[in-house]
């Protein structure tokens, strides 16, 4: 299959921003403590290369973002002005601030920007028009600039004014920032032209939140590994004994159907063979290990067992493409994290042998960071919900708005 490459689109590297004002949608939705200090600046750091490229070309930058979930209009705790000093330090240049993202003051500040200067607009979500995708609101933002750059993958699955609608006002001059470009390239590589064998590893608590992903992946993968709490719905559907383990009774039929569909399509659906059980949901619980379909009464499975780790690792280490979403057990508790840690190591090992590995979706990112292996996989996705919708096979409005599909 031939993919449309970035060659036929404008890209950060090929675009010359000299003398141009670029309005850039960033994801500065960072956590702040009660003194309004940033407690995790990952998202700000990630956006710096895009901003610096525009500035070094001789362009100027107007930054827009959301922060938190303001209810009705402006709220001090959600003001982006709390980010100004940190951002200025990271860019090595004073960042100007507009206390309203639209209106006369923002307009004038944008008009006065000189090459090399940066203006940060106040929180877009102080206006309901943002999440409603209001074209008039989008136009007010668009009127301040000549180029639109979307570098907020985390909101690419939302058709908001600043992520999607605004692109209509820049039919020629719209492009992905570096974060978006990397995300889209990496996910497309896995979903559209994976090297074979392609193995997806899915874990986490519930089948219900992953069912669309499972169905879409069945058409693409050679191996589908299932771990975590999801396991037990599949095991019960096969007639196994699962004790007090997590189960979604209403999905037992669905689990059977998925198992049959995998067989029809020749996909290896690989379930755990053993598990680590606990007598309560607590790190200090008593534990034992049992076959996955023979959990003793009164016990619950909270991690995959040693035989499973061995089995999963072998499949992973013989794969050319890996997609991992969701922990193999309750990795937040030290006594039930071994399964997730060992699978993360197997993915890192496969990567060192040349496999392409993509890790994404909330908890797997937290896990890979916790085990210090983030730099030993090919790509760690920054977009939780956006990534999951993309691997469900949905077209994300923020991506479509730029490249047309």
Beta bridge partners of 97: 120
Q: Where does 294-396 have alpha helices with state H?
A: 306-317, 338-352, 362-370, 384-391
Please list, residue by residue across 201-237, b when 16 or more beta carbons sit within 10 angstroms of its beta carbon and e when fewer do.
bbbbbebeebbebbebbbebbbbbbbbbbbbbbbbbb
Under rule CB under 6 A, which residues in 157-216 are in contact with ligand AMP? Answer: 204-206, 209
Is 117 or 274 the residue whose CB approaches ligand AMP more closely?
274
Q: How far is Cα 303 from Cα 232, in angstroms, rounded to an integer? A: 11
| Spatial contact of 205 and 405, defined as CB atoms under 8 Å apart | no
- Strand, helix or coil at 33? coil
Six-digit token string for 323: 């997609």
Determine the Cα angle at 139 with ends 138 and 142, to 5°: 90
- Out of 330, 341, 346, 401, which residue is the one contacting ligand AMP (CB under 6 A)? 330
Is 301 or 398 the residue whose CB approaches ligand AMP more closely?
301
Is 163 or 382 the residue whose CB approaches ligand AMP more closely?
382
- Element spanning 202, H or E: strand 198-202
Q: Are strands 268-270 and 223-226 parallel, antiparallel or unpaired?
A: parallel
Determine the Cα angle at 80 with ends 389 and 396, to 5°: 15
Residues in the interface with ligand AMP (CB under 6 A) total: 16
DSSP letter (8 states) at residue 204: S
Please report, in angstroms and rounded to a whole number, the separation of the first and last CA atoms in the chain.
Answer: 16
The residue whose two tokens read 């780790």 is 309
Among the residue ranges 63-71, 104-112, 265-273, 325-333, the one whose residues contact ligand AMP (CB under 6 A) = 325-333
- Told to judge if 227 belongs to the known catalytic residues of this protein, a careful annotator would answer no
Task: Determine, following the binding rule CB under 6 A, whether residue 332 of this chain makes contact with ligand AMP.
Answer: yes
- Out of 154, 177, 194, 229, which residue is the one contacting ligand AMP (CB under 6 A)? 229
Which residue in 10, 52, 90, 206 is the catalytic one? 206
Burial degree of 8 (CB within 10 A; 0-12, 13-18, 19+): exposed
Give the start-end residues of each E strand in 21-178. 21-25, 60-64, 95-98, 118-121, 147-150, 174-176
Q: How far is Cα 288 from Cα 284, in angstroms, rounded to an integer? A: 13
- Told to judge if 385 belongs to the known catalytic residues of this protein, a careful annotator would answer yes
* Residue number of the CB atom closest to ligand AMP: 204
Spatial CB neighbours of 366, under 8 Å, sequence gap ≥ 6: none
Which residue in 58, 68, 116, 385 is the catalytic one? 385
- Told to judge if 43 belongs to the known catalytic residues of this protein, a careful annotator would answer yes
Q: How far is Cα 383 from Cα 306, in angstroms, rounded to an integer? A: 31
- Out of 70, 243, 272, 301, which residue is the one contacting ligand AMP (CB under 6 A)? 301
Q: At what angle do helices 252-265 and 211-218 cross, to 10 degrees?
A: 10
| Shortest spacing between CB 69 and ligand AMP, in angstroms | 19
Is 70 or 329 the residue whose CB approaches ligand AMP more closely?
329
- Out of 327, 360, 384, 397, which residue is the one contacting ligand AMP (CB under 6 A)? 327
- Out of 59, 70, 194, 228, which residue is the one contacting ligand AMP (CB under 6 A)? 228
Under rule CB under 6 A, which residues in 344-363 are in contact with ligand AMP? Answer: 362-363
Q: How far is Cα 320 from Cα 387, in angstroms, rounded to an integer? A: 20
Is 161 or 330 the residue whose CB approaches ligand AMP more closely?
330
| Shortest spacing between CB 343 and ligand AMP, in angstroms | 12
Which residue in 20, 21, 43, 174 is the catalytic one? 43
Task: Determine, following the binding rule CB under 6 A, whether residue 286 of this chain makes contact with ligand AMP.
Answer: no
Task: Determine, following the binding rule CB under 6 A, whether residue 305 of this chain makes contact with ligand AMP.
Answer: no
Is 79 or 277 the residue whose CB approaches ligand AMP more closely?
277
- Out of 329, 360, 383, 398, which residue is the one contacting ligand AMP (CB under 6 A)? 329
Task: Determine, following the binding rule CB under 6 A, whether residue 70 of this chain makes contact with ligand AMP.
Answer: no
Task: Determine, following the binding rule CB under 6 A, whether residue 246 of this chain makes contact with ligand AMP.
Answer: yes
| Shortest spacing between CB 171 and ligand AMP, in angstroms | 39
| Shortest spacing between CB 373 and ligand AMP, in angstroms | 18
Q: Which positions are annotated as active-site residues?
A: 43, 206, 362, 385
Q: Interface residues with ligand AMP (CB under 6 A)?
A: 204-206, 209, 228-229, 246, 301-302, 326-327, 329-330, 332, 362-363
């Amino acid at each position: 299959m031939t993919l449309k490459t970035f060659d036929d689109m404008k890209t950060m590297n090929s675009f010359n921003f000299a003398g141009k004002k670029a309005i850039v949608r960033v994801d500065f939705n960072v956590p702040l403590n009660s003194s309004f200090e940033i407690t995790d600046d990952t998202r700000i750091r990630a956006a710096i290369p895009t901003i610096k490229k525009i500035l070094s070309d001789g362009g100027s930058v107007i930054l827009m973002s959301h922060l938190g979930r303001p209810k009705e209009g402006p709220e001090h705790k959600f003001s982006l002005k709390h980010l100004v000093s940190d951002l200025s330090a990271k860019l090595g240049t004073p960042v100007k601030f507009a206390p309203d993202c639209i209106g006369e003051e923002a307009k004038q500040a944008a008009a006065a920007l000189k090459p090399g200067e940066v203006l940060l607009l106040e929180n877009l979500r102080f206006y309901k028009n943002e999440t409603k995708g209001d074209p008039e609101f989008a136009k007010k933002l668009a009127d301040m600039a000549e180029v639109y750059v979307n570098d907020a993958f985390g909101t690419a699955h939302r058709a908001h004014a600043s992520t999607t609608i605004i692109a209509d006002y820049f039919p020629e001059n719209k492009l992905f920032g570096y974060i978006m470009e990397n995300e889209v390239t990496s996910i497309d590589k896995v979903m559209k032209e994976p090297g074979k064998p392609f193995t997806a590893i899915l874990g986490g608590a519930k089948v219900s939140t992953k069912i669309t992903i499972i169905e879409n992946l069945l058409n693409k993968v050679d191996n589908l590994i299932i771990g975590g709490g999801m396991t037990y719905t599949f095991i019960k559907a096969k007639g196994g004994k699962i004790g007090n383990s997590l189960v979604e009774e209403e999905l037992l039929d669905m689990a059977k159907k998925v198992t049959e569909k995998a067989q029809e399509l020749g996909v290896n659906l690989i379930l755990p063979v053993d598990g680590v059980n606990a007598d309560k949901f607590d790190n200090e619980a008593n534990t034992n290990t049992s076959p996955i379909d023979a959990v003793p009464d009164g016990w619950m499975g909270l991690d995959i067992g040693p035989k499973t780790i061995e089995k999963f690792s072998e499949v992973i280490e013989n794969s050319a493409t890996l997609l991992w979403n969701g922990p193999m057990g309750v990795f937040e508790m030290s006594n039930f994290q071994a399964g997730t840690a060992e699978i993360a190591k197997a993915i890192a090992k496969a990567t060192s042998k040349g496999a392409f590995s993509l890790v994404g979706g909330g908890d797997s990112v937290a896990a890979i960071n916790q085990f210090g292996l983030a730099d030993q996989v090919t790509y760690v996705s920054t977009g939780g919900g956006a990534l999951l919708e993309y691997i469900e096979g949905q077209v994300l409005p923020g991506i479509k708005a730029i490249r047309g599909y």
